[in-house]
Amino acid sequence: MERKVVFRGKALPLALLAPQLLITIVFFFWPAGQAVWFSFLRQDAFGIRSTFVGLENFTDLFADPLYLETIRNTVVFSTGVTVIALATALLLAVLADRQIRGSGAYRTLLIWPYAIAPAVAAVLWIFLFHPQIGLVGRALNGAGIPWDYKLNGNQAMLMVILASAWKQVSYNFIFFLAGLQSIPKSVLEAAAIDGARPAYRFWTITFPLLSPTTFFLLVVNLVYAFFDTFGVIDALTKGGPAKATETLIYRAYVDGRVNLDIGLSSAQSVVLMLVVIALTAIQFRFIERRVHY
């Protein structure tokens, strides 16, 4: 027998929902709607003169070869960040999950970087990797490896990927560790008695059972790489050298806030919004099917 609780009348449920709805409308629908509206306008920085230009901002955008290059950068960057952050976190979680002395201390230390603000993290990376004043940067150059992320685009990309992934490893680590701890020991022990070696046990039991966690983290990490890595890029490379580390979100920032072209920047925000909606939809529709819950 099914029992449904139904409110009588509409006033109470609406009143209960109102705060949440209000927050969603004020902080999400309103600005998002404004972005969509502005993407059809051309206006000066102060918004004194504005003209409706239809889809011109979008056609301008996709006619710009540099924007297409930015899309390519974003794909490389997001893939790099997600793969490195997930793989490293999984490895560390598996290691920290074992019976070792002082595992509590290890775990705490591994979670630490998450508490560091992106800009501060970036400054730490500068102190390490700056070609002239950084500890590692100087060592690399001293060892005859020409390291100069200020001029070498690939090195710059490597550096922003590493810095962004490093920050996300802690977050992933917590989830992987929790996931590992919820895998029943009896299953692993049974497999061990049957003679399965650790690597085999990991790939056939642990990894599939972790897949809900991995899937969740995949979505979160991609969204992080798309949207939350602005601070690291801004502090480390400002999208340079040339445009080697300019991602979609960084370009939207530069066009909107630095170049004060609100229309073009809004068009980019709309594109980003669509990308993320599509990405999430695809993930839930196709990838989720192969996930064991």
Partner 1 sequence: MHRRSLLAGAAALGLAAPASIRAQGTGRTTIEFWYGLSGALGERVAEQVKRFNDSQQRFTVNASFKGSYIDTMTGAIAAWRAGNPPHIAQVFEVGTATMMAAGPAIRPVHQLLGEAGVELDPKRYLAGVRGYYSDTQGRLISMPHNSSSAIMWLNLDAFEKAGLSTTDLPRTWRQVRAAAERIKAANATPAAITTTWPTWVMMEQMASMHDIPFATRANGFEGMNAELQLASPFFQKHMDFLLQLQKDGLFRYGGRDNAADPLFPAGEAAISFNSSGLRARVEREAKFKWVSVPLPFHDDVIQQPKNGVIGGASLWVLSARNRPAEEYRGVAEFFRFISDVDQDLWWHKVTGYVPLTTAAADKGRAEGYYQQNPGADAAIRQLSRAEPTPNSMGFRLGGFVEIRNVIQEELEKALQGQQNAVQALEAANRRGNVVLRNFERANRA
Please select the residue that binds partner 1; options are 20, 99, 132, 186, rule is CB under 8 A: 132
- Amino acid at site 140: L
> What are phi and psi for residue 6, nearest 5 degrees?
-125, 130
Stretch 206-265 residues interacting with partner 1 (CB under 8 A): 238, 240-243, 254, 257-261, 263
Listed ranges 78-86, 114-122, 150-158, 199-207: which one lies at the site for partner 1 (CB under 8 A)? 150-158
Query: Which among 219, 230, 215 is positioned nearest to 163, based on CA atoms?
Result: 230
Angstrom distance (rounded) from CA 133 to CA 142: 12
Angstrom distance (rounded) from CA 5 to CA 8: 10
Instruction: Report if residue 15 touches partner 1, rule: CB under 8 A.
Output: no
**Residues paired with 119 in a beta bridge:** none
Please select the residue that binds partner 1; options are 19, 46, 145, 186, rule is CB under 8 A: 46
Instruction: Report if residue 150 touches partner 1, rule: CB under 8 A.
Output: yes
# residues near partner 1 by CB under 8 A: 29
CB of 150 to partner 1, least distance (A): 5
Please select the residue that binds partner 1; options are 31, 33, 47, 146, rule is CB under 8 A: 47
Angstrom distance (rounded) from CA 65 to CA 142: 38
**What angle (nearest 5°) sits at the alpha carbon of residue 207, between those of residues 204 and 213?**
150
Instruction: Report if residue 42 touches partner 1, rule: CB under 8 A.
Output: yes
> Contact at 8 Å (CB) between 179 and 213?
yes
Please select the residue that binds partner 1; options are 23, 30, 34, 44, rule is CB under 8 A: 44
Query: Which among 150, 173, 170 is positioned nearest to 160, based on CA atoms?
Result: 150
CB of 145 to partner 1, least distance (A): 16
CB of 125 to partner 1, least distance (A): 14
The alpha helices in 5-117, defined as continuous H runs, are 11-24, 30-38, 56-63, 65-96, 103-111
Q: Name the residue nearer to partner 1 (CB basis): 102 or 142.
A: 142
Q: Name the residue nearer to partner 1 (CB basis): 221 or 245.
A: 245
> Contact at 8 Å (CB) between 256 and 265?
yes
Please select the residue that binds partner 1; options are 4, 49, 98, 197, rule is CB under 8 A: 49
DSSP 8-state code for residue 51: E
Q: Name the residue nearer to partner 1 (CB basis): 5 or 48.
A: 48
CB of 289 to partner 1, least distance (A): 44
Q: Which residues bind partner 1 (CB under 8 A)?
A: 42-51, 132-133, 148, 150-153, 238, 240-243, 254, 257-261, 263
